[in-house]
Chain A
Amino acid sequence: MADDNTHLDGNCLAGPLSEILSVEATTAWWRCPECAMAGPLAQLQVYGPEPGLTARCPGCAYIALRLVKEGRHIWLTMGSSTGAFRFTV
């Protein structure tokens, strides 16, 4: 996994997102609301793994999503807002 100085990409979210989504996620299309760059989830920049995984726009670093696992719960935040969905797995 990545250390603090580097990032992976959205391909590594396939497993973690499979815990809460029924459709394979890395091919999902995403358009950045900040800089309008568009592409598949697989090409987001992903930082982590602790305290969670943060996926950012490769163009402007805008946060696309954050995923935090805590025991039986997975917290999913979309965009750079606060307010998370809590899934029980």
Chain B
Amino acid sequence: MAIAWHRARLAARLPQTATARSLVFTVPGWPGHLPGQHVDVRLTADDGYQAVRSYSLAAPADGDRIELGVQTVPGGEVSPYLADDLPSGADVEVRGPLGNWFVWRPEQTEPVLLVAGGSGVVPLAAMIRAHRRVPSSNAFHLLYSVRTPDDVWYGDELAAPDGHLDVRIVYTRQAPSGSPRGAGRIAAADLAEPVTRLGATSPAYVCGPTGFVESVASLLVDMGRDPATIRTERFG
């Protein structure tokens, strides 16, 4: 039985970076979802032409409201329109929730490693936000790779004190002045400390561009992590 397409109405648009937006839609009849799941968004032009793209859900289930993260892809067919042009109150179609593999369930009790590249932080944000609702939970360790300090999504939220979340941000192009770590891609040294906080079966969720995900996953395997504990999602 096919998962239904739902009408989704744009309720709010929040800037995350110069080119990234959080979009909140109201979706009558939305069945709820798990942190890490995604939706397919379908746009239909006046001439009937349709385009479908996948976007991660950025927040835990909240009635008929869903939040997506949209990073503008220059020259893209869909993302610039969603990010900046879709009028508030306009409708698109969404199909979901989709995917049961790249998910975190609140009943999981091990410490968790989250590794994000760029907008790959979106499904991990849903996990972090869901984790905050669980009392006396084990810690989440987020390692978040961005190009520059201006490219951080959810900045205030990640900076807020949280005894169950530690956040490390790695800058690949330009680090803040005075930062002890220079700019550069994630290396084993960046993963070493958070990995020591994990148990043998603790899951690692890695999401980002394909090259980033491949690189981080092989670093983790080289560090002795069981490949079966590493869950990855690539977005091209």
Contact = CB atoms under 8 A, between A and B. Distances in A.
Interface of A: 1-3, 6-12, 14-15, 18-20, 22, 24, 26-27, 40-43, 89
Nearest to A10: B101
Interface stretch (B92-100, B135-143, B182-190): B92-100
A9 B2 contact: no
Contacts of A11: 38, 99, 101-102, 233-234
A42 B236 contact: no
B1 interface: yes
A83 B233 CA distance: 30
User: Which interface class (under 10, 10 to 19, 20 to 34, 35 or more) fits B?
Assistant: 20 to 34
Contact of B210 (A7, A10, A14): A7
A4 to B, nearest CB: 11
A11 B96 CA distance: 13
B40 interface: yes
A84 to B, nearest CB: 19
A43 B102 CA distance: 10
Given A15-B52, A15-B54, A9 B232 contact: yes
B53 interface: yes
Interface in B27-82: 38, 40, 52-54
Contact of A8 (B2, B96, B210): B210
Given A15-B3, A19-B2, A43 B232 contact: yes
Interface of B: 1-3, 38, 40, 52-54, 95-96, 98-102, 210-211, 213, 231-236
B3 A9 contact: no
Residue from B2, B52, B95 whose CB has the most chain A CB atoms within 10 Å = B2
B101 A40 contact: yes
9 contacts: A1-B236, A2-B210, A11-B99, A11-B233, A14-B38, A22-B1, A40-B101, A42-B233, A89-B2
B101 A42 contact: yes
Contacts of A14: 38, 98-100
